[in-house]
Chains A and B, each alone.
Chain A
Amino acid sequence: MKKLMGPIVALGLVLGIWAGCGQTSATPTTAPPPPPAVTAKPIQAPTLAPTRAPTRPPTQAATRPAEKPRTRTAADLAALPLGPERQRILEEGARQEGEVMVYSSATGLDSIIDDFMNKYPFIKADVFVTRVPALIERATAESKAGRLGGDIANGPLTVYTPLQDLVVKFNSPGAQFTSAPKAATTYVGLVVFTYSTRRVNPTEVPTKVEDLLNPRWKGKLGLFAPPNTFPGLWTNMLLENLGEAKARDFLTKLSGQDLFFYDSPQIAEKALGDGQIDLNMQGSTNARRRVGEGLPLNWTAPEPSMGYVNLITLFKDSKHPHAALLLIDYILSPEAQNKISGMVGSFTTREIAAGEIDGVKLPKTIWLQTQERVKNIPQGTKIFEQLVMKK
């Protein structure tokens, strides 16, 4: 054994040195070229390559020395007017950049990313998925140190709001800007209650939040819990729509229902599927997807209900802004949006306007997340923890 110690230590050192010498990917790829330098000059309105014939005689133009390619910041590129020239500039720049990184709190982007790389094989796209606070922490810390590793941020308003000073408004063919001026909506959903069609009669399905106090649900009801932000938002929604006294009374009575609390929708879904609970509060995106997979589930949105959005935005210090904008364009394209809708079960605005989705009547009151409401999450969470979780 003593004779093996030396080779083992040597092997460990060799592996360590090899691993540490910049080898960070298993797939053999050529090292991407360095990103274009970010200009230190004040941002100017970007000028496109001329599309009209030059006014000077050709002989004079031929004797003029070739102009250096213009470097553009993320803000410059974001402000480019839509059109084929913008597409050309983005593709040319993306070929030089060769990669793009998405910081996301939402999962499920992998197949979209794969489709994007099939469309643009000269771009390597990666997604860094983590929880909202870790994402915010990473982006903030890296930005302060001047070493931002992400190009795009993807997640709900709770991601966008703390990062809004780090992002820039952009143009994109499929972009819809709502209450977040520098981010585009990728999908919308509602907070709904999913139930097992095998164990719950249609007559028992709640149509308003007060129905959750029915003894039928005692010990069989699952709710979101902190650190998920939905409880705080949901509580604030109830306070606004029911009035403070009525909302507090409702929440206090709700705590007597021997509730289950889940901060992970996957664990909650498993509990619903196993039969531990019969009714579960969750985002409509997951609920709709599960129903679409043929599982014996359905969902309802008791009055009042809460809506949420998932947003995508561009970091102003992005090191790969050309590739980033191409990816944003792709994610917001009809092709990708249809796929996302199928994958996550999101709603379209047309469906919401119709008042009914998949045979489920939508509530009259849909309370939407806004930046202002997102700021009040801690207060709502505290009330939820005190009244419902008895903490």
Chain B
Amino acid sequence: MNFVFLFVVLAVLYLTGLPLLFLIYGSLAKAIGSLDLTGSNFVAVYTNWQTLVLFGRSLLFAVGSAFVSLVMGGAAAWLTQKTDAPLKSAATAISIISVAIPGLFLAMSWVVLAAPRAGLINVWLAQTFNLPDDLIKIYSLPGMIWVEGLAGAPFTYLLLAPILRSMDRSLEEAASVSGSGAWNRIVRISLPLAVPAIFSILILRLVRGFEAFDVPAILGLPKGIDVLSTKIYTIVNMSQSYGVANAYALGLIVLAVAGIYSYQRLIRQGYKYATVTGKGYQAAQTKLGPYKLLGAGFLVFYVLVVAAVPLSVLLWNSIIPSSMLPSGEAISQLTLQNFRLLFNMPRVLLAFRNTFIIGLVASAGCVALALVASWILVRTRIKGRWLLDVFSFVPLTIPGITLGVALIWIYLTLPLPVYGTIWILVIGYATSFLPIAMRFLSPALVQINVELEEAASTSGASQWAIFRRILAPLILPAALGAALYVFLLIFRVLSMAIVVYNPRTIVLPVQIFVMWGEARGNTVYALLVVTLAILTPFAFLYNWLIHRYARGASPGA
């Protein structure tokens, strides 16, 4: 087991440390490949008052979108896991499907809805109530916060749902017997118990908000509203000034380290939040009573804004020859031509094949690493383990483009047969999503009381036996959720892959980008519809597995 720990620690350090070294080197070097170092990039960035404005706006965007995703996803998770609200399966399945929708298209769908003078809602308001035709300003910071929040809501749901589901009802039952009302039980028992998970999600969404690119690019750039991610993107694409871009990125890392330090202090008190114990348990379900309709209404709203609307936009655009708003003329031009064209493109088939293989290997490797790393963090007292958490978190703060460039330089230098093969993409994705897998697994481990393992150890079980027979079954929903989420993200994230791919290792996000750039009519929408159709069974598989596991598994007394 010590050998496994050492291997995992070294693997995490290798995957995340090398790009970090590149980031630091790149911020100090006069040019890539040069050993002449300078602090001029930091001076240029951090003595400019515009940087303060940029960080302030980025913070507002990150906090706002994290709040929206927490409220939307958290409320949906609570309703489906802790109450008798209807539409649970639909909400869960939609949450899974929607994580596969790229942020780019979520933003585009909201442009269709709320663009000035042309958005469906704006046009309807103008024609019906004689209001200005740009009443809803989607190209604004509030618009960005709303859409990015919606993009993060499914993720929040997927993280929080297993945690809420696994909570022991005995505490709530005891409160109920003592006369506590439903709202009191939520505020004073359920919410506090979910604090590690909520805080973990908040940190992740905050850092994701700093790093998010798709939504700020679509909704912010058209009005010159910059955040950190779009600023870095503009600098790198404009002038290849990696020094300045990396100097900005290091500022992100400082923020991330501060967040992780706070989180580490929180999980040291993890035993206070344990709800999965050696006693038998069953998840509690609160009866909503007269509020059942309200709960159902919220879930319908959640399903609509998170997935139904963007899916409708995708579907509509896939069956018309070119982009146009619904009208009689548009309906007369409905066609399946986009799908026919798609299946005559060999590169599309290659992209599907590559993405599936990379997705399977990268997600499995990433979750395996994250599981052992999380166990080291949560269960051991190894000194300096917080560094492991910091290193595993760092990739989230490295912009995808910078990570891609780092990988090119690393694997052109190291004598390993990685460059030009799909392995560079496997490594890139595993590195990129390691923090996400950790955020799935660490809170889940915190929820499992250590007494289960202590009892097994006292009875003579080895560490491997404890892991295999006690921990693994309990952590399985979170591990499956992490693996599935990473798998779906690989179908979605573009920024790293666009730098390291070549035509023979092309993946789906890159293929979509290339088709988008080639303006091949609406074939790209057809590709997205096909992708979602293929991924949807995985969503239902996840839903089935979770329900199957929750019914059948119990530690037993």
**Chain A residues at the B interface, C-beta cutoff of 8 Å:** 1-2, 5, 8-9, 11-12, 15-16, 19-20, 22, 24-27, 101, 107-108, 110, 126-134, 136-138, 141-142, 144-145, 147, 149, 219, 225-227, 229, 259-264, 266-267, 269-271, 273-276, 286, 378, 381, 389-391
Known: A137-B405, A261-B224. A24 touches B422 (CB 8 A): yes
Q: Which of A133, A381, A390 contacts B240 (CB 8 A)?
A: A133
5 A-B contacts, Cβ less than 8 Å apart? A20-B423, A26-B349, A107-B519, A137-B240, A259-B224
The chain B residue with its CB closest to the CB of A381 is: B238
> B408's contact among A26, A133, A138, A267, by CB below 8 Å, is which?
A138
Q: Which residues of B contact A259 (CB under 8 A)?
A: 224
Bound-complex Cα distance A202 to B505 (A): 49
Q: Are B516 and A266 in contact (CB under 8 A)?
A: yes
In the assembled complex, how far is the CB of residue B223 from the closest CB belonging to chain A, in whole angstroms?
A: 7
- Given known contacts A141-B408, A276-B115, is B514 in contact with A261 (CB within 8 Å)? no
**Residues of B close to A271: CB separation below 8 A:** 115, 118, 222
Residues of B within 8 A of A126 (CB): 502-504
Residue B233 at the chain A interface, CB threshold 8 Å: yes
Chain B interface, DSSP helix/strand/loop, else mixed: helix
Given contacts A12-B361, A141-B412, contact A26 B118 (CB under 8 A): no
Contact across chains for A19 and B361 when beta carbons are under 8 A apart: yes
Which of B197-205, B300-308, B334-342, B413-421 forms contacts with chain A? Answer: B413-421
In the complex, the answer to whether B408 meets A273 with C-beta atoms within 8 Å is: no
Contact across chains for B412 and A130 when beta carbons are under 8 A apart: no
Q: Is the CB of B361 within 8 A of A274?
A: no
The answer to whether A12 and B360 touch across the interface, beta carbons within 8 angstroms, is yes
Are A26 and B353 in contact, CB atoms less than 8 angstroms apart?
yes
Q: What A residues does B405 contact at CB under 8 A?
A: 134, 137
**B238–A1 contact, CB under 8 A?**
no
B113 CB, nearest partner CB in chain A, Å: 12
Q: Shortest beta-carbon distance, A315 to chain B, in Å? A: 15
Nearest chain B residue, comparing its CB with the CB of A378: B239
Find chain B residues with CB under 8 A from A274 CB: 112, 115, 118, 323, 325
Are the C-beta atoms of B117 and A275 separated by less than 8 Å?
yes
State A11–B356 Cα separation when bound (angstroms): 13
Min distance, Cβ B514 to any Cβ of chain A, angstroms: 5
- Which of chain B's residues have a CB closer than 8 A to the CB of A147? 412, 419-420
A376 vs B405: C-alpha distance when bound (angstroms): 25
Taking a contact as CB atoms under 8 Å apart, the answer to whether B420 and A269 are in contact is no
A contact residues around B233 at 8 Å (CB): 227
Residues of B337-365 contacting chain A, CB below 8 A: 346, 349-350, 353, 357-358, 360-361, 364
How many angstroms between the C-alpha atoms of A286 and B519 in the bound complex? Answer: 10
Residue B36 is within 8 A (CB to CB) of chain A in the complex: no
Q: Which residues of A contact B504 (CB under 8 A)?
A: 24-25, 126
CB distance from A135 to the nearest CB of B (A): 10
- Please tell me if the beta carbons of A276 and B323 are within 8 angstroms of each other in the complex: no
Given A9-B364, A126-B504, A261-B221, check contact A26 B238 (CB 8 Å): no
Is A107 within 8 A of B116, CB to CB? no
Are B421 and A107 in contact (CB-based, < 8 A)?
Answer: no
Interface residues as binary, B88-130 with A (CB distance below 8 Å gives 1, 0 otherwise): 0000000000000000000000001001111000000000000
Looking at the assembled complex, report how far the CB atom of B75 sits from the nearest CB atom of chain A, in whole angstroms.
Answer: 30
The answer to whether A260 and B222 touch (CB under 8 A), given A126-B503, A391-B50, is yes
Report B17-56 residues with CB < 8 Å from chain A CB: 32-33, 50
Chain B positions 539-557 with a Cβ under 8 Å from a chain A Cβ: 545, 548-549
Contact partners of A5 in chain B: CB under 8 A: 472
B505 proximity list for chain A (CB < 8 A): 24
Which of B223, B237, B476 touches A132 (beta carbons < 8 Å)?
B237
Q: How far is the CA of A219 from the CA of B224 in the complex (A)?
A: 13
- Whether B329 sits at the interface, judged by CB under 8 Å, is no
Q: Are A144 and B237 in contact (CB under 8 A)?
A: no
Please tell me which one of the listed residues A19, A226, A262 contacts residue B357 in the complex, with CB atoms under 8 A apart. A19
Within 8 A of A (CB), among B300-327: 322-325
> How far, in whole Å, are A271 and B119 apart by their CA atoms in the complex?
10
By the criterion CB–CB under 8 Å, are A260 and B223 in contact? Answer: yes
Given the contacts A134-B499, A266-B516, A276-B118, A20 and B422 also touching, CB distance less than 8 Å: yes
Let me know if B238 and A227 touch, CB within 8 A: yes
Chain B residues near A390 (CB-CB < 8 A) = 224
- A138-B408, A263-B221, A266-B517 known; A1-B413 Cβ under 8 A: no
A26 to B351, CA, bound (A): 9
Q: Which residue of B lies closest to A273 (CB)?
A: B323
A136 B240 Cβ-Cβ under 8 A: yes
The residue in A12, A22, A126, A149 that gathers the most chain B C-beta atoms within 10 A of its C-beta is A12
In the assembled complex, the Cα of A27 lies from the Cα of B347 at a distance in Å of 9
* Complex: A350 Cα to B472 Cα, angstroms: 73
Q: Which of B325, B361, B404 contacts A15 (CB 8 A)?
A: B361
A229 to B237, CA, bound (A): 9
Closest to B50 in A: A391
**Roughly how many angstroms separate A126 CA and B360 CA in the complex, as a whole number?**
26
Q: How close is A17's CB to chain B, nearest CB, in angstroms?
A: 9
Q: Are B502 and A128 in contact (CB under 8 A)?
A: yes
Residues of chain A lying within 8 A (CB to CB) of residue B116? 219, 276
Docked pose: A25 CA to B347 CA in angstroms = 9
**Contact: B498 with A12, CB < 8 Å?**
no
A122 to chain B, nearest CB (A): 18
* Minimum distance in angstroms from A11 CB to a CB of chain B: 8
CB within 8 Å for A261 and B222 given contacts A22-B421, A145-B412, A147-B419 = yes
CA distance A27 to B346 in the complex (A): 8
Set of chain B residues within 8 Å of A145, measured between Cβ atoms: 412-413
CA distance A273 to B420 in the complex (A): 39
Task: Tell me the minimal C-beta distance from A257 to chain B in angstroms.
Answer: 12
Given A15-B360, A269-B519, answer yes or no on A275-B118 (Cβ-Cβ < 8 Å).
yes
Contact assessment for A131 and B518 in the assembled complex, using a CB-CB cutoff below 8 Å: no
Q: Kindly state the separation between the CA atoms of A134 and B420 in the bound complex, as whole angstroms.
A: 15
- Whether B323 contacts A127 by the Cβ 8 Å rule is no
CB-nearest residue of chain B relative to A270?
Answer: B323
Taking CB as reference atom, which chain B residue is nearest A126?
B503
Tell me the bound Cα distance from A131 to B237 in angstroms. 7
A136-B240, A137-B408, A141-B412 are known contacts; what are 12 more A-B pairs with Cβ within 8 Å? A1-B473, A1-B548, A15-B357, A20-B422, A24-B422, A107-B519, A141-B408, A145-B412, A145-B413, A259-B224, A262-B222, A391-B224
